[in-house]
Amino acid sequence: MTTEARLGSVANYVDERTGAAAWMKKNLQKVFPDHWSFLLGEVALYSFVILLLSGTFLTFWFDPSQREVIYDGSYEPLEGLKMSAAYASTLHISFEVRGGLLMRQINHWAALIFMSAIVAHMMRVFFTGAFRKPREGNWIIGIGLLTLGIVEGFLGYSLPDDLLSGTGIRIAEAIIQALPVVGSYLAYFAFGGAFPGEAFIPRIYTVHVLLLPGAFLVLITVHLMLVWYQKHTQFPGPGRTEKNVVGYPLMPTYMAKAGGFFFIVFGVTAFLAAVASINPIWLFGPYTPGQITAGSQPDWYMGWLDGLVRMAPPIETHAFGHTISWNILIPGLIIPGILFTGMALYPFIESWITGDKREHHLLDRPRNAPNRTALGAMSLTFVMVTLLNGGNDIIATHFDLSINQIMWGTRFGVLILPPLAFVITKRLCLSLQRADRELVLHGRETGTLLRLPHGEFVEVHEPISPEKAYLLTSHEQAPPLELPAIDAHGVKRAGALRNKLRSRMSIANAEAIPKVSATELKEIEHH
């Protein structure tokens, strides 16, 4: 039987039972637009798969128990010491299981890359406005994935029960304990009694290995299905409209490129795991609450939280026999809560400001949405300042600075620098718009000088291609909302204050350098 005939009989077998040919024929030809920044989400997706694979390997040897054992493995500096079975089994994986250390390192590097890719992908989606209708739901799912990723990573590196991650668990317990009214109860329920107890590691193992991966699988599936069904967005350009998708078909081009990229992500992760040591828990020692190491930090995706907690003013209220630790609740729960809620609701906030209720499938070039881009820069600055403070002791020792100076610097910096970043970024966007306008009207500066017959020197400008001109002028420039405070009958409208705020924000949002029109271009051409 020829290959074709063999394939044919397999296809026939499946199709007779499922009717698969109908939907497969459509989907094998599905068109995907091409841009390198669209691969950031893929990096996250593939990292997730790598985490599942390497993680499963680890579960075959890891013992998630806090019962005390005496170490008798091959690592001499810990010989005969008391430690939990979790820590001892992690040592066993690292030193006696062939490929064990590699898998541990792949799991941890993949986690770091997973989180970096999620953040980079989120930034791409944000700065290009891909979260607008009809993709608001997918954005919220994405914020959910980001939040779950932070928790999953924290739980993952806490499983070995070493000195560094145990310290992190102590801090997590202090946050739970600080909750008003229910704090001590929730802490005792989570830990099965007093800290550290013997129940926490086994319980977070279940969360890390079963519950959260299950949640990820569901959320990622919905996330991808939405992208599949709603079709991916695309950058503006010649031939691209709100009503089409321009790109390459799934089979064979995208299968090869996207499939190949999975191996690239896995390969780069394995490369990092081969050449860069990560989380050497045998050097940290087993966790005991009486010990601590200088330079205690969580992994980077929680570093900004650590930085916030460090810079918090020492405020606690004691009243009527009760204590509320604002110095823990505000940086640890309230500020992150506001931040993540704001992020999740942003598509709705933006459509409220712009009054734009239409579908968008063409992306914005970030410069053409100056307010949004400036807001993103502001949030990034906030995260970077807090992240810096999270590592203030490491920075101090390496750059000969003082932790006190860095702390005060970031205390003020976190309030001053983000608004500064907003203003600077907005101005940068507007000047880029101006540069675009110049480019369309006057063409590209070639650097060649020409002497005119009457003696004047001019720089030769090369007109840009019609494709480029279209790219630089195809974006929308919506005017601000019209929200009169007084309606047609002279009555003051309800919600006047809200409308005033909305109107003000809408005006600020609509600030832009007017793009070049066809009429203007014609005038220039006749110049």
Partner 1 sequence: MSNEIEAIKDPGLPAHVHRKADTDPKAAKRAERQVASMFLMSAFGTVLLIFSFFFIPDDVFVFVPILGNQNAHQLGLGLGMAISLFFIGMGAIHWAKTLMPDVEVVAQRHEFRSTDSDRKDFVSAVKEGAAASGLGRRSLIKRSLGAALGLSALSPLILLRDLGPLPGKELEKTTWKTGTHLVTDPGNRRIKASDLEVGAVAQVLPEIEDPEHRKLSDIAKDAVLLIRLRPEEFNLEADRLAMTHDGIIAFSKICSHMGCAVALYEQQTKHLLCPCHQSTFDVTRAAKVIFGPSARPLPQLDITIDDEGYLVARQPFSEPVGPSFWERNSQ
Partner 2 sequence: MKRLSRYRRHKAAAPLLLFFALLTVGATFSVASATTSAETTSADRSVQIEEGRQIFLKGCSSCHGLNAEGMQIAPALIGVGAASVDFQVGTGRMPMADMSTQAMRKDPIYNAEETAALAAYVASLAPGPAIPSESSLNYERDGSTAEGGELFRNNCAMCHNFAGQGGALTQGKYAPTLMGVEPKHIYEAMVTGPQSMPVFSDKTITPEEKLSIIKWIKSAEKEPNLGGASLGRVGPVTEGLLGWTLGLGLLIGVAVWLAMKAR
Positions 112 through 141 that interact with partner 1 (CB under 8 A):
134
206 interacts with, out of partner 1, partner 2, none, CB within 5 to 8 A per kind: none
Q: Which stretch in 136-144, 365-373, 374-382, 468-476 sits in contact with partner 1 by CB under 8 A?
A: 468-476
Alpha-carbon distances, residue 7 vs 3, 21, 54 (angstroms): 6, 13, 34
Judged by CB under 8 A, the residue of 5, 17, 76, 318 near partner 1 is: 318
Q: Convert residues 475-514 into a mask of x (bound to partner 1 by CB under 8 A) and - (unbound).
A: -xxxx-----------------------------------
**With contacts defined by CB under 8 A, how many residues of the chain interact with partner 2?**
72
53 binds partner 1 (CB under 8 A): no
246 binds partner 2 (CB under 8 A): no
Check: CB of residue 216 under 8 Å from CB of residue 145: yes
Q: Which is nearer to partner 2, 94 or 371 (CB)?
A: 94
Judged by CB under 8 A, the residue of 89, 107, 269, 371 near partner 2 is: 269
Rule CB under 8 A: which of 72-91 touch partner 2?
76-81
Check: CB of residue 201 under 8 Å from CB of residue 85: no
31-32 and 68-70 beta bridge pairing: unpaired
Judged by CB under 8 A, the residue of 193, 214, 337, 484 near partner 1 is: 193
Judged by CB under 8 A, the residue of 51, 141, 190, 369 near partner 1 is: 190
276 binds partner 2 (CB under 8 A): yes
Alpha-carbon distances, residue 469 vs 45, 436, 515 (angstroms): 36, 9, 11
Rule CB under 8 A: which of 438-497 touch partner 2?
none
Q: How far is the CB of 142 from partner 1 (least distance, A)?
A: 20
**Residue of 475, 495, 498, 478 lying closest to 487 (CA atoms):** 495
Q: How far is the CB of 237 from partner 1 (least distance, A)?
A: 9
Please name the residues in contact with 389: beta carbons below 8 A apart, sequence gap of 6 or more: 306, 307, 308, 310, 311, 406, 407, 410, 414
* Cα–Cα distance for residue pair 99/410, rounded to 1 Å: 42
Rule CB under 8 A: which of 94-153 touch partner 2?
94, 101-102, 105, 108-109, 112-113, 116-117, 120
Q: How far is the CB of 98 from partner 1 (least distance, A)?
A: 6
Q: Which stretch in 333-341, 371-379, 466-474, 484-492 sits in contact with partner 1 by CB under 8 A?
A: 466-474
404 binds partner 1 (CB under 8 A): yes
268 binds partner 2 (CB under 8 A): yes
186 binds partner 2 (CB under 8 A): no
Rule CB under 8 A: which of 418-457 touch partner 1?
440
206 binds partner 1 (CB under 8 A): no
109 interacts with, out of partner 1, partner 2, none, CB within 5 to 8 A per kind: partner 2
* Cα–Cα distance for residue pair 342/79, rounded to 1 Å: 51
* Cα–Cα distance for residue pair 456/435, rounded to 1 Å: 25
> What count of other Cβ atoms lies within 10 Å of the Cβ of residue 229?
8
**With contacts defined by CB under 8 A, how many residues of the chain interact with partner 1?**
120
Token pair of 291 as six digits:
């010990």
Transcribe 149-218 into DSSP letters. Answer: HHHHHHHHHHTT-BHHHHHHHHHHHHHHHHSTTTHHHHHHHHHTSSSSTTTHHHHHHHIIIIIHHHHHHH
Judged by CB under 8 A, the residue of 45, 78, 85, 187 near partner 1 is: 187
Residue with structure tokens 């590699």? 102
* Cα–Cα distance for residue pair 422/444, rounded to 1 Å: 30
Judged by CB under 8 A, the residue of 26, 36, 454, 526 near partner 2 is: 36
526 binds partner 1 (CB under 8 A): no
65 binds partner 1 (CB under 8 A): no
Judged by CB under 8 A, the residue of 141, 145, 155, 163 near partner 2 is: 163
Rule CB under 8 A: which of 322-381 touch partner 2?
none
28 binds partner 2 (CB under 8 A): no
Rule CB under 8 A: which of 251-310 touch partner 1?
252-253, 256-257, 259-268, 270-271, 273-275, 287-296, 306, 309-310
Residue 394: helix, strand or coil by DSSP? helix
Q: Which is nearer to partner 1, 274 or 415 (CB)?
A: 274
Rule CB under 8 A: which of 328-347 touch partner 1?
328, 331
Q: What is the DSSP letter of 459?
A: E
Phi, psi of 403 (to 5 degrees): -60, -30
> What count of other Cβ atoms lies within 10 Å of the Cβ of residue 423?
12
191 binds partner 1 (CB under 8 A): yes
Q: Which is nearer to partner 2, 356 or 393 (CB)?
A: 393
Token pair of 313 as six digits:
């003013």
155-174 burial string, b = 16+ CB within 10 Å, else e? Answer: bbbbbbbbbbbbbbbebbbb
CB burial of residue 249 (10 Å; 0-12, 13-18, 19+)? middle
DSSP H or E run through 335? helix 335-354
Check: CB of residue 91 under 8 Å from CB of residue 71: yes
* Cα–Cα distance for residue pair 434/472, rounded to 1 Å: 11
